[in-house]
A and B are shown apart, each in its own frame.
Chain A
Amino acid sequence: MKAAVIVFPGSNCDRDMAVAFERAGADVTMVWHKDTALPEGLDIVGVPGGFSFGDYLRCGAIAAKSPISASLVRHAERGGYVLGVCNGFQVLTETGLLPGALMRNANLKFICRPVDLKVETSASDFTSGYNAGDVISVPVAHHDGNYTIDEDGLAKLRGEDRVAFTYAANPNGSVGDIAGVLSENRRVLGMMPHPERAVDAMHGGTDGVAMFRSLAQGLVTA
């Protein structure tokens, strides 16, 4: 699996994501936001967590208009895989690759702790290593993770089995307890919790490993 991780000014989970991909056997290239092209032959692009551009204007809004982001959108439109975590999820909604938006947490607090996530679907290369209904523990660390989408959009997500993860106990006010959503072609996943921070016993848990492992296996045979 050939992966790239985009680095914006203010990204702070880029190396964690690269390590998670590498441990799953991926060849990882870091790509600076001012680059205009992604490396050739990529299977997946990681959009990492952090505070790109200081969260100015709206979280992820400036990053979504960075030079590299046009290439990211083209990669996804060609059927390439994209994983956006935390700020990366915010960037993906701002680019329009994923529906909805992420607003300030309902309790206005920055939340930083492990949460239980329910795997809602195993029908994607991101989640095929889990069983639907599994509960996994993955850390969250965000101030703006309150997922919102209109009723029609929510019905569409549910009808198309595109809610990847929900919170067992909603920490941030997200509609439908949604923690992560898939694109129509199921090749773009955005999620607020950090699977890349749950890939080593020293992280306190390894429930994120199955995601990177299933990607490595799925994308090799794809």
Chain B
Amino acid sequence: MKVRVDVMLKNGVLDPQGEAVRHALGSLGFDGVSGVRQGKVIELDVAEGTDEATIKDMCEKLLANTVIESYQVHM
């Protein structure tokens, strides 16, 4: 069973990499991009029947640093 976890910097945490991407888009002539946030997607292959609570536990303990990051689990 595939599970996808999206990890993003929390709102309010400055994202210097996203800013750099935004500037690069601007220099390519893409106007009107007012913000870019860069995160990561983690795909897990887990045993059938693994519950969401277990995935969230993985996120809390390792996959995300909840000091600066938020996560979303897609079962």
Contact = CB atoms under 8 A, between A and B. Distances in A.
Interface stretch (A8-16, A33-41, A57-65): A57-65
B68 A101 contact: yes
What bracket does the count of chain B residues touching chain A fall in? Answer: 10 to 19
A61 B68 CA distance: 13
Interface of A: 57-58, 61, 65, 93-94, 99-101, 103-108, 146, 148-149, 173
Given A61-B65, A106-B16, A107-B16, 17 more contacts: A65-B61, A93-B67, A94-B65, A99-B67, A100-B67, A101-B65, A101-B67, A101-B68, A103-B13, A103-B16, A105-B16, A108-B17, A146-B16, A148-B14, A148-B67, A149-B67, A173-B16
B68 A103 contact: yes
**Dominant SS among interface residues on chain A:** loop
A58 B17 CA distance: 14
B62 interface: yes
Interface of B: 13-14, 16-17, 20, 61-63, 65, 67-68
Contacts, number: 35
A198 B13 CA distance: 33
Q: Is the interface of B mostly helix, strand, loop or mixed?
A: helix
9 contacts: A99-B67, A101-B68, A103-B14, A103-B68, A106-B16, A108-B16, A108-B17, A148-B14, A149-B67
Given A103-B16, A104-B16, A65 B65 contact: no
A44 B11 CA distance: 37
B15 to A, nearest CB: 8
Q: Which of A93, A104, A107, A173 has the most CB of B within 10 A?
A: A104
A23 B17 CA distance: 41
A149 B62 CA distance: 19
Contact of A104 (B17, B61, B63, B65): B17
Contacts of A99: 67
Nearest to A100: B67
A173 B17 CA distance: 13
Contact of B20 (A57, A61, A108, A148): A108
B65 to A, nearest CB: 6
Nearest to A107: B16
A183 B71 CA distance: 27
Given A103-B68, A148-B68, A57 B63 contact: yes
